[in-house]
Amino acid sequence: HRANKRYLKEKFGHYTVYDIETEQMSETRLKAKSWQEKRKHSPKPRVMVVYSSKSDEYHSFYPEQMATGVRLLLNSDTIVSYNGRDFDENVLIRHGFMDKSFEGLGKRSFDLLKRLTKKHGYRAKLNGLARLNLGEKKHTSGRKMSEIDGEKLVEACKSDVRQTRILFEMWAHNPNNIRYPNKRQRRYIYAG
């Protein structure tokens, strides 16, 4: 375990893993084709959870604390997400917590969804990856997130961050370690 942490630190420095839960997406956002339209119609954030490899702790931030969460991300060497470049970063920019993408701000951004999509040729849901690799499903499906709030929402978001962190650490050691859903497993396919 200690050797794993040392390897990750050498390769990625201090890394953070984050996810944001938002209000429900509008039809306009769901149908948006360009990144400009997607950003313009990004829903408001409800909570963000950030894992820090430096403290080995999870931190949660409600909208009024989101700027503090962004500072925590920006103080790391590598910022890890699952669909962060196309979704979470747009939420942060649209709602005034950043003025550019993490890469635009000079940070190393590692979007696990983008890496896996490039390797396999199609997108898969975090739920499918968690089932195949961790033997567990997502705490709460995306559609049900709008039905919960407070500590339950924080726990659901933290679970997504934990699953993303473990999958990222597996990838970091060897991308071939991650089992990927095949195209016929439709319930695993990310359609967003």
The pTM (predicted TM-score) of the whole model is: 0.91
Question: Given this model, what pLDDT does residue 141 score?
Answer: 75
For residue 184, how many other CB atoms are within 10 A of its CB?
7
For 124, counting Cβ atoms within 10 Å of its Cβ (0-12 exposed, 13-18 middle, 19+ buried), the class is buried
The SS3 of residue 52 is strand
Residue written as token pair 């699952």: 82
Question: Given this model, what pLDDT does residue 1 score?
Answer: 59
| Pure H helices in 22-105 | 27-31, 35-40, 66-74, 89-94
Question: Given this model, what pLDDT does residue 47 score?
Answer: 97
Mean pLDDT by 10 residues, the chain (192 residues): 78 96 86 86 95 97 97 97 95 95 96 95 90 90 79 95 96 92 60 39
Question: Given this model, what pLDDT does residue 186 score?
Answer: 46
Question: Given this model, what pLDDT does residue 149 score?
Answer: 86
Q: Which two tokens stand for residue 76?
A: 């790391």
Rg of the chain over Cα atoms, rounded to whole angstroms, equals 16
